[in-house]
Every structure is written in structure tokens, then in C-alpha cells.
Amino acid sequence: MEPKDEIKTANMGDRAMNTKRAKVGGEFGANGEWYEGGKFINTVPENSKRSGSAKRGQGKQEIAPYVWEIAPEPNMRSLYRQFAGVFGIVIDGVAVVRCHQQTLNYFGRTIEEVGNMIQRWNAGQRWEPYETR
């Protein structure tokens, strides 16, 4: 039986894979991060806890069905993402209002407000500043 904190190496072609577990009670890894006892200690810099393996999005928003763009300014939001699937749908490139009064009440909107938003989208406007509502 091998001690748990010993490095184990397995050959994978020309690359070796090293794994190490933290000692009972926990320990700091070579990267300065704390690891609970028995947890694997990261030995690959690309997988560090701080950087994370998941990459952050680019800030794209859907402006039409399956069309994604980055906002022209940081304080802008897509009109499409505000109504799509909740207040209206796009049929053959034209947005139409499709919702119940109960839905409007829940979100604190009026039919005129939603109709105006969809009308602006149909006229070609894709973005609005956050302060509009």
C-alpha cells in the first residue's frame, strides 16, 4: 500500500501524468492554494482554482433568432432578449406580441410597453440603453 501523499506517475506516451493528494488535515500546494486532506493537488498550471477551467463569455447577446453580437456600448441591451419567448415570438422575420395578461402582470409590464418594444425591433432597432425602462 502506497502513502496517499506520494506522487504517482503513469506513462502516457511522451507525457507523464502526476497526481498528488493532500496530507491528512490539509496542506498548501505548490501554487499557494489550500487543499483539504485527501483532495487532489493540482500540478497543472492551466487548471488552477483561481483561473478556472471555464472561460468567461465574450458579452455577446442574441439580437435576432440565432444571431449574436457584442453590444455597441457597455450600457446597451438587446431588445430581442427582452421579449423573445416571454412576451413575443418571431415568425418569418417579424416579431409579434404573444403573451397573457397574467404574464404581463408578473413582470410588471403593459401591453403597450411590450408592443412598442416589438414595434421598434421590427423597425430595425436591436439595442436600447439600460435606462430606457
Look up cell 441591451; give the residue. Answer: 77
Residue 11 has pLDDT above 70, yes or no: no
Please give the pLDDT value at position 107. 93
Burial of 120 (0-12, 13-18, 19+ CB in 10 A): middle
Does pLDDT of 54 surpass 60? no
The model's pTM is: 0.57
Residue 1: pLDDT above 60?
no
- Domain locations along the chain: 8-47, 60-132
Q: pLDDT by residue (tens digit) across 60-78? A: 999 999 999 999 988 899 9
Does the pLDDT of residue 49 top 70, yes or no? no
The CA distance from 125 to 86, in Å, is 19
